[in-house]
Amino acid sequence: MYVADVLDEMEQVERSIEGDGPVQVQSESGELLPPPLPPIEDLLKEGQELLVQISKEPIGTKGARITSHISLPGRHLVYMPTVDHIGISRRIESEEEKERLRLVVESMRAPGTGFIVRTVSEGKSEGDLRSDMEFLVGLWENLGRGIDEQSAPSLIHSDLDVTSKVLRDILTEDVQRIVVDNRDEYDKIIRFIRTFMPRLNYCIELYSGDEPIFDAHGLEVEISRALGRKVWLKSGGSIIIEQTEALTAIDVNTGRYVGKHNLEDTILKTNLEALKEIAFQLRLRNIGGLIIIDFIDMEKEAHREKVHGALEEALKNDKNKTNILKISELGLVEMTRKRVRESIGRTLCEPCRYCDGKGYVKGKLTIIYEILRELHRELVDLPAGHITLLAHPDIAGLLIDEERTGIDELEQRYGRHISINSRPGFHIEQFEIAVG
């Protein structure tokens, strides 16, 4: 069961749960020491059946994270049947509203159970929250009956399909129109909104145009843009995004933008424009983990502060938790963004079979010198006879013409004739040496 969309709202609850353990002790210096953890063999036994939930999907080489603290996300609430706790989303800023929601949930929940009040609950009535709570409690009761009827390993429950998940977690009052090109999905959306969001007035449109819906709304362009390495800015500057296993590096360049006044103003304007695009690209590409942004160097401290504040403001409404450090004197910003799932690049793409994911291949001269060295090694041990070199057409052409000197020297040294044949199907770095 995947609950990645509500992980950020559950962090506060996890910290609270962790804090309910044994009393911490102090070291000789007075520092608090974490309580000792019991050996895993004292907690789990071979053959024991456990009800667990995937709390974080596998990312890259890291496997899935599981937990025995079950949570069931709804539209307004997240139900935690095994935890006695009420959590309120940090994105609800009003303390009065937080207290109101806390009292409403407290008055309705069963003893010993827990709920997280999601961000979309802000301003909602008691009736809205009660409907969500009754649905989630009923769902948990149905799951309990399913547990008794099945033996491990078994899937007890899975999250909603993609359409319903988007409607539940992303749809807000800010959305004005929903466009879908499938009749079954259209009917499903109508039923979902009538059931769970009857008070919201959305325009739901069944697309029937001749061109694909992605082309009609410019989504193909955005997808291509999200997979590209360079993103152009309106001013003529650009940002370069490089993703690695350890971190994501983002470089800001002025490009052809020279400004109208002085260089410092040009740099400031480019950085301010770039940070808005960076905030958008982080969400669009779903980039998480450690992120290093190399802004153009700014000499004035006031300009650095302005860029830092603008970056924080641009990321304020990001659903994934972010943490931004101050801009260094070199113009670098270190920040983290909560990694919930794979980035769009890793989801839609696979490593290049041609360069094996390196993003580059050896230069032609490098390959030629590698071939000459390999011929030198092989000619010592190869039996007498005609030598044939098979290589990519570009490499074979260079060895026949511009770089023929190296082949001639080997032929004279070893008294052997070397024929060079091109193979169009070869990788540019591939070559073979044969006798006969």
User: Which range, of 7-21, 185-199, 363-377, 388-402, averages the lowest pLDDT?
Assistant: 7-21
pLDDT surpassing 70 at residue 19: no
Q: What is the mean pLDDT of residues 401-409?
A: 89
Classify residue 327 by its DSSP letter.
P
Number of domains in the chain: 4
Q: What is the mean pLDDT of residues 410-424?
A: 89
Instruction: Show which of 158, 184, 219 is a domain's final residue.
Output: 158
Residues 10, 18: Cα–Cα separation, whole Å: 12
Residue 328 resides in a domain? yes
Are both 154 and 172 inside the same structural domain? no
Residues 72, 236: Cα–Cα separation, whole Å: 47
Are both 105 and 176 inside the same structural domain? no
CB contact at 8 A, 391 and 371: yes
What is the model's pLDDT at position 258?
58
pLDDT surpassing 60 at residue 18: no
What is the model's pLDDT at position 15?
45
Residue 309 resides in a domain? yes
Q: pLDDT band for position 311 (50/70/90)?
A: very high
What is the model's pLDDT at position 436?
67
Q: What is the mean pLDDT of residues 199-226?
A: 82
Secondary structure (DSSP) of 217-265: TTHHHHHHHHH-SEEE-TTS-EEEEEE-SS-EEEEEE-TT---SS-HHH
Q: pLDDT band for position 389 (50/70/90)?
A: very high
Domain encompassing residue 260: 235-348
Q: What is the mean pLDDT of residues 10-16?
A: 47
Residue 289 resides in a domain? yes
pLDDT surpassing 60 at residue 11: no
Instruction: Show which of 323, 348, 373 is a domain's final residue.
Output: 348
Are both 284 and 389 inside the same structural domain? no
Residue 359's CB: how many other CB atoms inside 10 A?
A: 10
Are both 324 and 409 inside the same structural domain? no
Q: What is the mean pLDDT of residues 325-354?
A: 83
Q: pLDDT band for position 115 (50/70/90)?
A: very high
What is the model's pLDDT at position 22?
44
> What rounded mean pLDDT belongs to the chain?
82
CB contact at 8 A, 246 and 259: no
User: Which range, of 96-105, 136-145, 305-314, averages the lowest pLDDT?
Assistant: 136-145
The structure tokens listed for 167 are 């409607």
What is the model's pLDDT at position 119?
84
Q: pLDDT band for position 234 (50/70/90)?
A: confident
Residue 355 resides in a domain? no
Q: pLDDT band for position 26 (50/70/90)?
A: low
Are both 311 and 392 inside the same structural domain? no
Are both 143 and 13 inside the same structural domain? yes
What is the percent of the chain with per-residue pLDDT over 70, rounded to a whole number?
Answer: 88
Are both 145 and 180 inside the same structural domain? no
Are both 151 and 258 inside the same structural domain? no
Q: What is the mean pLDDT of residues 183-206?
A: 79
Residue 28 resides in a domain? no
Are both 266 and 121 inside the same structural domain? no
What is the model's pLDDT at position 177?
84
Are both 92 and 141 inside the same structural domain? yes
What is the model's pLDDT at position 33?
67
Q: Residue 117 maps to which CATH number? A: 3.30.230
What is the model's pLDDT at position 421?
93
Among the residues of 80-122, which ranges form H helices?
95-108
Residue 394 resides in a domain? yes
What is the model's pLDDT at position 28?
59
pLDDT surpassing 70 at residue 17: no
pLDDT surpassing 60 at residue 10: no
- End-to-end alpha carbon distance in the chain: 62
CB contact at 8 A, 119 and 57: no
**Opening angle at CA 81, ends 80 and 83, nearest 5:** 70
Q: Residue 257 maps to which CATH number? A: 3.30.1370.50
Are both 249 and 336 inside the same structural domain? yes
Residue 32 resides in a domain? no
**Is-above-0.75 flag for pTM?**
no
Are both 265 and 289 inside the same structural domain? yes
Whether the CA torsion 277, 279, 284, 285 is positive or negative: it is positive
Q: pLDDT band for position 27 (50/70/90)?
A: low
User: Which range, of 121-125, 273-277, 320-324, 378-382, averages the lowest pLDDT?
Assistant: 378-382
Residue 353 resides in a domain? no
